Amino acid sequence: MNMSTLKESIPESVENNDRMRELKEFEETKSGVKGLVDSGIVKIPKMFIRPDDELAGESNHGRTNIQIINDLKQASKDCGFFQVLNHGIPPSVLDDMLEGIRRFHEQDAEIKKEFYSRDLLKKVKYASNIDLYRSSSANWRDTLTISLLVSDRVEPDELPAVCRSSTMEYIDQVTKLGELLFKLLAEALGLKREHLVEMGCAKGRIFVCHYYPACPEPELTLGTSKHTDPCFLTVLLQDQIGGLQVLNNNQWINVQPLAGSLVVNIGDLFQIISNDEFKSAEHRVVANQVGPRISTACFFTAPPKMYGPIEEMRTEENPPIYDKFTEAVVENVRSSYSVPGGIVMREFLCVDYLMEGSLRFSELCSLLEPNRPVKTDKLAIIGDAIRVLNELKSESQECKEVNEKLLEEIKTLKVEKNELREEKLVLKSDKERIEQQLKATTVSPSGFVPAHPPVYQSGVNKIAMFPGYSFVPMWQYHPSSTNDTSRDHENIGRAA
């Protein structure tokens, strides 16, 4: 008898015996499936589980592996976004991750402050708007960031206690899913299945755990501004609130949440290495009066090495559109242009753009640095361009600070001017009040005799009664006159 055949038959026989024993035990309960449910089971017995080949054949609704790859390829070329179901991550892991992020953001502010930082090298940090000082307007969200770029693993005690276990489990599960997606996408590009994984596309990871509170005026702001992702691939877990939109044919399309699904999108680095075969699409998150909205995005990004369009995809009919680059160059370009996404980055790395830009940059440097030697290496040109841009950016920042100081001084002078104007008005009011008081308190001096009309000034050296006041005789001396007064006594009446 063949010993190998015997060894193979023993496990099969044992398995059959176990199954038969399990069937008999179930039969003897005489309680059926409901009896199992009433007993409080959380996992179904093995006797109910279908064979592996049957499950694998239906896990993707009857589609073959080739059909799945074709669908991935079409979605990656057309819009760069697709949703994944039956991905192998248990729903409980997804739910626990979202709940853990909610608990972190809703805990006491003093506890969260322990993680608050804008240090780019810090592995675990909490902040609001990573580009707060570069963006034209802030976004309505807070973020817990877990970076696995420098180190391949995060230690449990580095994570917030309130979401530690759920985050550790989710990181492990999504990392495995990412590797699987890269294998499928490699096949979609006509490459070996392991090509992208061997390139290190799945090695660097950044997890951003967003919390979007309910917004009182959602029409005035955004949860996340329009951008593309500067990475190879993004895997997004979101709750059922919604708000994610993708720009397709100049229209914003809502990405409706599906329970248990994950949203996957192509990043800028993937578009570059695929030589524009796959598309990195612009997207955003709108603010909402309903909330909070909770999501976790895993960015599969680049470790520090040289990248460019994949050699196997270059042909005479499909020449490289982009030049080679490093992740450091990409980050410097993005920070110099102060953009959250990679549209400018892709244009900057475009071969035609580099050839034209190198000439313009040489002209610029001849003005800024007359004694600078001419360089022909494109990476050297990019490095110099970035350096000059950073210098100009630094000078611009200094000018901005001086301008802000001048504006503050102008503001202070305006305040002082207004204060002087108010003091002037007060003084004017005081003057008018004092004048009124003086006018009201002025009294005619005792014995003052007002001047009489000219008609009574005809007499000379006469004392006449002033007729303006009845019953009160008032006398006034008449100055001498040239009139003849010799017969005035005849005109005076006899006294009573």
Instruction: Tell me, yes or no, whether 29 and 150 share the same domain.
Output: no
Residue 139 shares a structural domain with residue 240: yes
Q: 244-262: per-residue pLDDT in tens?
A: 999 998 999 999 999 999 9
Both 24 and 171 in one domain: the answer is no
Query: Does residue 448 lie within any of the structural domains?
Result: no
* Mean pLDDT, residues 224-248 taken together: 94
Residues 34 and 169 in one domain: no
Higher-confidence residue of 230 and 372: namely 230
Going 112 to 115 to 119 to 120, the CA torsion angle's sign is negative
pLDDT(5) > 50:
no
Q: Domain boundary at 243, 274, 307, which?
A: 307
- When pLDDT is cut at 50, 70 and 90, the band that residue 277 belongs to is very high
* Same domain flag for 242 and 282: yes
Q: Does position 337 have pLDDT exceeding 50, yes or no?
A: no
User: How far, in Å, CA of 278 to CA of 231, rounded?
Assistant: 13
pTM: 0.59
| pLDDT tier for residue 44 given thresholds of 50, 70 and 90 | confident
Query: Quick check: is 478 in a domain?
Result: yes
Q: Nearest-5° angle of CA 203, CA 201, CA 149?
A: 35
Three-state SS at 303 = coil
For residues 425 and 365, which has the higher predicted lDDT (pLDDT)? 425
Decide if 129 is inside a domain.
yes
pLDDT of residue 490: 62
Same domain (yes/no): 247, 298: yes
Domain limit, last residue, from 307, 325, 354: 307
What sign has the CA pseudo-torsion 429, 431, 435, 441? Answer: positive
The residues with which 284 forms a beta bridge, in sequence order, are 245
pLDDT in tens, 131-156: 888 788 889 999 999 999 878 888 99
> pLDDT at position 495, please?
52
Sheet holding 293-301, edge to edge: 81-84, 262-266, 233-238, 293-301, 204-212, 142-148, 124-127
Residues 168 and 226 in one domain: yes
> What does the block give as tokens for 317?
């009919």
* Contact predicate 372/391, CB 8 Å: no
pLDDT tens per residue across span 75-106: 999 989 999 998 999 999 999 999 999 999 99
Residue 339 has pLDDT above 60, yes or no: no
* Same domain flag for 7 and 153: no
Residue with structure tokens 């950073």? 390
Is omega for the bond preceding 292 within 30 degrees of 0, making it cis? yes
Tell whether 483 is covered by a domain: yes
Contact 319, 255 (CB under 8 A): no
Are 83 and 228 found together in one domain?
yes
Say whether pLDDT at 162 is over 50.
Answer: yes
Three-state secondary structure call for residue 326: strand
Residue 279 lies in domain: 65-307
CATH number for the domain including 294? 2.60.120.330
Q: In DSSP terms, which residues pair with 125 in a beta bridge?
A: 145
Identify whether 428 is part of a domain: no
**Pair 278, 266: CB distance under 8 Å:** yes
Residues 6+ apart with CB under 8 A from 317: none
Kindly report the length of the chain: 496
Tens of pLDDT, residues 443-471? 555 555 555 555 444 444 444 454 544 44
| Cβ count near 244 (within 10 Å) | 23
Q: How many domains does the chain have?
A: 3
Q: Is the pLDDT of residue 62 over 80?
A: no
242 Rama sector, left if φ>0, alpha if ψ -120 to 50, beta otherwise = left
Give the pLDDT confidence score for residue 41 in this predicted structure. 83
- Average pLDDT over the chain reads 79
User: What's the pLDDT at 461?
Assistant: 46
Q: Of 363 and 229, which is predicted with more confidence? A: 229
Asked if residue 444 is part of any domain, the answer here is no
Residue range 392-411: average pLDDT?
89
Helix (H, G, I), strand (E, B) or coil at 383: helix
CA distance 326 to 353: 17
Do 151 and 42 belong to one domain?
A: no
**pLDDT confidence of residue 2:** 42
Residue 390 reports pLDDT greater than 70? yes
> Above 80 in pLDDT, residue 169?
yes
Q: Whose CA is closest to 143, among 104, 169, 175, 170?
A: 104
Can you give the pLDDT at residue 381? Answer: 64
Asked if residue 202 and residue 116 are part of one domain, the reply reads: yes
Which secondary structure element, helix H or strand E, spans residue 264, and what is its range? strand 262-266
Query: Both tokens of residue 64?
Result: 């073959």
Boundary residue ending a domain (289, 307, 325): 307
> Percentage of the chain surpassing pLDDT 90?
43
3-state secondary structure (DSSP) of residue 106: helix
Instruction: Say how far apart CA 348 and CA 330 lie, in whole Å.
Output: 9
What is the share, in percent, of the chain residues with pLDDT greater than 70?
Answer: 71
User: What residues are paired with 455 via a beta bridge?
Assistant: none
